[in-house]
Homo-oligomer: A and B are copies of this chain.
Amino acid sequence: MSWGWGEGVPQDAIYWNMICERKGLYTCFPSGRVINAGKSQHNEDQACCEVVFVEQRPSPRGRLPSREGSGELDGGKKGFYFHYWALFDGHAGSGAAVMASQRLHLHICEQLRDLVEILQDPSPPPICLPHGAKTGPADPNHMSYTEDCGEVPNDAAPRFHLEKAVSHESLVIGAIENAFKHMDDQIERERASQHLAGGCCALAAIYLMGKFYVANAGDSRAIIIRNGEIIPMSREFTPETERQRLQFLALLRPELLGKEFTHLEFPRRIQPKELGKKMLYRDQNMNGWAYKKIEEDDLKFPLIFGEGKKARMMATIGVTRGLGDHDLKVFSSNIHIKPFLSCFPEVRVYDLTQYEHCPDDVLVLGTDGLWDVTNDKEVAGVVMEVLTSYEPNDPCRYTMVAQELVVRSRGVLKERGWRLANDKLGSGDDISVFVIPLGGPGNYT
């Protein structure tokens, strides 16, 4: 079931299809991927697809009494499975992307291990756990999850009227968010010994207990196509979409700019001779633009500069979330990018049980190599076109969609470079695509 590869995959095209049987269920993980570097010797996109077992951590107070429906498996191990797909779009080397593709799901697993019993209990998660607890209250039959913290007898327990209800779903989101942080910390710790170069955007889909959790840090994107309708499952984190967060941080921590940058945004570089004139600008509070008199300080390079795919933070990087990049600095300076570059993902949730899905409903994950040249509507068109040309129970059909999406976004090599069907320039970037059936030949129970 496990799948991966070592550092640096040679320039080539790879398609794969994975079918797994587990507990008599038939589950399908099709996907397609092509490597067309050009920019670098190796493909910097990496991917991972796994079914991961989350085993409950042994209780420090000894083994807990088994509870009905608490997920005890045949082998006596308590836990649950999650399904996992992830894309890692590396830059400045494939090291961070390779490590993240090998480890992120293990960090997610690790974060979830403490929650096994809590997630399997339909009652609300406990706000407070007793001393030394790892999996919830030591004896759940004897405790009120929400009010008792172990020492106070139940009848004397204080009542907290202003207590916020926390859902199981938000615990999973928190676990994924912290897993990204731990992944980033591991890359930081091991980057020297493991020679981990660069950084990567990360996009992961986790299927757990009836819900898809799509976590995104970077400019990869995910959409669901359901009954022809497009449902965005991520947003991109770029200098443009995160401008106000970055400007706010720069305003409060000007020392991070090393006297080289201004937190204000201007529509273009200002020339010294323009001092005293009025220039359009916007600050961390503004979405609109206004004129201001140009002062000495405004002659510095803007923290955010450029537009669209060319927008850069500190003239260095085009994404504002991702893993790695701990050594990345502004060219020929000692100014670090990292405090501005955040490793935290945004997690969106899609409840699979809220809708009856047909075999043509899919979740598509793609790196920017796909989305730069193929928009949502075009992707939905390819999905429908390819799927209808295969039998609904043919597990290959999703792989063929992924392959078609990649091939069409790459284009055909002509005299004037790689060209799409409409003669526009094809994607010069690495392209990776997962096409995940939501109501396909198998299911995720």
**A residues touching B (Cβ–Cβ < 8 Å)?**
111, 114, 125, 127-131, 133, 149-151, 158, 160, 162-166, 170-178, 181, 245, 248-249, 252-253, 267-271, 273-274, 276-280, 282, 285-291, 305-307, 310, 342, 344, 346-347
Q: Which residue on chain B has the smallest CB distance to residue A265?
A: B164
Residue contact A286 to B177, C-beta cutoff 8 Å: yes
Residue contact A166 to B289, C-beta cutoff 8 Å: yes
Residue contact A174 to B129, C-beta cutoff 8 Å: no
Residue contact A160 to B287, C-beta cutoff 8 Å: no
Residue contact A160 to B268, C-beta cutoff 8 Å: yes
Asked whether A268 and B162 contact (CB < 8 A) given A131-B277, A278-B133, the answer is yes
Residue contact A172 to B131, C-beta cutoff 8 Å: no
Residues of B within 8 A of A278 (CB): 128-129, 133
Give me 15 A-to-B residue pairs in the complex whose CB atoms sit less than 8 angstroms apart, sorted by A's number: A111-B290, A114-B291, A128-B274, A129-B279, A160-B269, A162-B268, A162-B307, A164-B267, A164-B306, A165-B307, A171-B289, A175-B288, A181-B285, A245-B248, A287-B346
Q: How far is the CA of A280 from the CA of B175 in the complex (A)?
A: 12
Residue contact A279 to B162, C-beta cutoff 8 Å: no
Q: Which residue on chain B has the smallest CB distance to residue A275?
A: B131
Residue contact B128 to A307, C-beta cutoff 8 Å: no
Q: How far is the CA of A426 from the CA of B93 in the complex (A)?
A: 62
Residues of B within 8 A of A158 (CB): 271
Asked whether A288 and B114 contact (CB < 8 A) given A131-B277, A151-B273, the answer is no
Residue contact B346 to A163, C-beta cutoff 8 Å: no
Residue contact A285 to B344, C-beta cutoff 8 Å: yes
Taking the closest CB of chain B, its distance from the CB of A253, in whole angstroms, is 6
Taking the closest CB of chain B, its distance from the CB of A304, in whole angstroms, is 10
Q: Which residue on chain B has the smallest CB distance to residue A251?
A: B252
Residues of B within 8 A of A267 (CB): 127, 163-166
Residues of B within 8 A of A342 (CB): 285
Residues of B within 8 A of A344 (CB): 285-286
Q: How far is the CA of A27 from the CA of B170 in the complex (A)?
A: 50
Residues of B within 8 A of A125 (CB): 280, 289
Residue contact B274 to A171, C-beta cutoff 8 Å: no
Residues of B within 8 A of A129 (CB): 277-279, 291
Q: How far is the CA of A225 from the CA of B170 in the complex (A)?
A: 33
Taking the closest CB of chain B, its distance from the CB of A16, in whole angstroms, is 32
Q: How far is the CA of A200 from the CA of B129 in the complex (A)?
A: 41
Q: Which residue on chain B has the smallest CB distance to residue A244?
A: B245
Taking the closest CB of chain B, its distance from the CB of A180, in whole angstroms, is 9
Residues of B within 8 A of A310 (CB): 162
Residue contact A127 to B279, C-beta cutoff 8 Å: yes
